[in-house]
């Protein structure tokens, strides 16, 4: 693992970088289980699953969900077949990593989490929405994002690369919601190196898609949707977007919710099994 910080601020230009470049040059924020930054690592090294690091290296991530208020639809993307990790899976609008050395800075402190500002992950989200979906930065200002909670999960990419997959995810993921009055206010030009398809879906359409065995969904998306977005038998965040976006009824800045992956994402190059106790749902105060 590299040191506690990256190099100085860097002009990041995704348009000039290949998937291999991202793996080698992007420097993610390495974490302890309480979400404290303890170092840095390349994107590639953090996502390798082997006997030395059966679940890769724990790092910070974000997952953005953009909704059209006029139709109550969610924007999904299908990751490009050329992606190294989790190619061709359907997932939320945008999911990626804050990085060391960015300007504006993409690093958040425990105090930023406590007050729910998390400008670092929001800046990272704006950067990647532009890179992946071509959404101009001025159409998704950081003050319009709502930070809701964090989850600690891991998953080997065994569905794509087989039971001994050398790749996987191990993240503390910050969940961000953003609503727009209408999809017509967004300029969307998907980057074919990142995205194969996009789709605006209603709740019923999403449920139907997730029940279709011919479609693949990312493990982190499946966890977030089942637990919170649809509510798992309780009131879900999608049920009333006005409440979700304009109150703190669903905001949890104190806990980090912990999840092992679905059984098909166990294993990988390090033969990783369950990390959390069967009754473990969250870690307490992580501030």
Element (H, E) at 42: strand 37-42
Is 208 within 8 Å of 98 (Cβ atoms)? no
Is 261 within 8 Å of 153 (Cβ atoms)? yes
Active site residue 211: no
Which residue out of 73, 94, 95, 194 is catalytically annotated? 95
Which residue out of 73, 171, 194, 258 is catalytically annotated? 171
Adjacent-strand bridge partners of 52: none
Active site residue 95: yes
DSSP strand pairing (146-156 vs 94-96): unpaired
Give, as one character, the DSSP assignment of residue 213: T
DSSP strand pairing (282-283 vs 256-259): antiparallel
Class of residue 92 by CB neighbours under 10 A (exposed 0-12, middle 13-18, buried 19+): buried
For residue 80, count other CB atoms closer than 10 A to its CB. 18
Catalytic residues: 95, 171
């Amino acid at each position: 693992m590299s040191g506690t910080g990256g190099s100085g601020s860097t002009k990041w230009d995704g348009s000039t970088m290949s998937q291999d470049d991202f793996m080698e040059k992007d420097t993610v924020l390495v974490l302890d289980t309480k979400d404290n930054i303890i170092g840095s690592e390349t994107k590639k090294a953090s996502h390798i699953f082997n006997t030395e690091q059966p679940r890769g290296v724990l790092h910070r991530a974000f997952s953005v969900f953009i909704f059209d208020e006029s139709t109550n639809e969610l924007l999904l993307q299908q990751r490009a077949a050329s992606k190294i990790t989790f190619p061709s899976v359907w997932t939320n609008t945008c999911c990626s990593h804050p990085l060391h050395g960015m300007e504006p800075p993409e690093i958040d402190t425990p105090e930023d989490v406590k007050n729910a500002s998390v400008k670092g992950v929001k800046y990272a989200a704006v950067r990647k929405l532009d890179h992946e979906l071509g959404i101009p930065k001025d159409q998704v200002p950081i003050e319009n994002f709502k930070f809701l909670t964090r989850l600690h999960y891991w998953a080997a990419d065994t569905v794509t690369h087989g039971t001994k997959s050398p790749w996987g995810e191990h993240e503390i993921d910050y969940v961000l919601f953003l609503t727009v009055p209408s999809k017509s206010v967004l300029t969307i030009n998907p980057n074919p190196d990142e995205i194969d398809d996009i789709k605006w879906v209603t709740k019923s359409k999403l449920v139907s898609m997730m029940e279709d065995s011919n479609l693949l969904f990312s493990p982190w998306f499946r966890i977030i949707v089942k637990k919170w977005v649809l509510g798992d038998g309780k009131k879900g965040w999608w049920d009333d977007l006005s409440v979700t976006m304009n109150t703190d009824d669903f905001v949890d800045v104190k806990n980090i919710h912990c999840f092992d992956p679905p059984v098909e994402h166990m294993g990988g190059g390090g033969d990783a099994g369950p990390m959390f106790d069967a009754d473990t749902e969250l870690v307490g105060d992580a501030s």
